[in-house]
Amino acid sequence: MDLTKLLPTSHLQSDLMAMGLQDGLRLAVQPLVDAGIVSDGDRFVEDLIVRESQYTTAVGNAVAIPHARTHTASRLGLAVAIFPGGLDFPEAPDAQPVKVFFIIAIPAFAPVAHMPLLQHIAKFVRNPKKVEKLVESKSAAAAVKYLLSFKA
């Protein structure tokens, strides 16, 4: 899957710090708000938390893929946030802090539009070495380049 259009460099934030999960999600969704894909960041974060309560999107290997169908999204959106210090994620299967968040905004009117993207990301994050390399990227541009180079 080609992520070029979904993941411009501005959608990846590295070296983030947050006080907790909700604060971290707010920071992580900001590029989607800035790009006009999500109209209301706080509402989208609420939608992410509701979705999270149904079944966790933390997959282990310090990764979570929070996603939610939301009326605030005008189109499918992807943002990546890297917290090198990690954030506590209550339902993480390995109980380890999450360092990498792949945020997917799914427009409510297209509830299955994200499935290919989800599959692509899931394949990437199952490899701990790839995740480690992503976290250690020296810049957002380098991290995006690395993600775009991944062919499932």
Partner 1 sequence: MPKGPLTQLLKIQELELVLHESAIVHGSGAVDDKNLKRKIADLRKKVPASFLAHYDQVKRNGMGISREIGGRCRACQVVMPAGDLNNIRSGRIQAICPSCNIYIYLESFGQES
DSSP state of 38: B
Nearer to partner 1, 30 or 57 (CB): 57
- Biggest CA–CA distance in the chain, Å, is 37
- Within positions 55 to 114, which residues make up the interface with partner 1, using CB under 8 A? 55, 57, 59, 65, 67, 69, 93, 108-112
Helix, strand and coil percent figures for the chain, each rounded to 5: 40, 20, 40
Nearer to partner 1, 119 or 139 (CB): 119
Taking a C-beta distance cutoff of 8 angstroms, is the pair 29, 66 a contact? Answer: no
Interaction pattern, residues 9-48, with partner 1; x per rule: CB under 8 A: ----------------------------------------
Does residue 127 touch partner 1 according to CB under 8 A? no
Residue 63 and residue 36: Cα distance in Å, rounded?
26
**Smallest distance, partner 1 to C-beta of residue 122, A:** 5
Among 49, 76, 122, 142, binds partner 1 (CB under 8 A): 122
Amino acid at 46: E
Q: Which of 45, 4, 43, 39 is nearest to 27 (CA)?
A: 45
Stretch that binds partner 1, among 27-35, 53-61, 81-89, 137-145 (CB under 8 A): 53-61
Residue 21 and residue 86: Cα distance in Å, rounded?
10
Question: Which residues contact partner 1 by CB under 8 A?
Answer: 51, 54-55, 57, 59, 65, 67, 69, 93, 108-112, 115, 118-119, 122
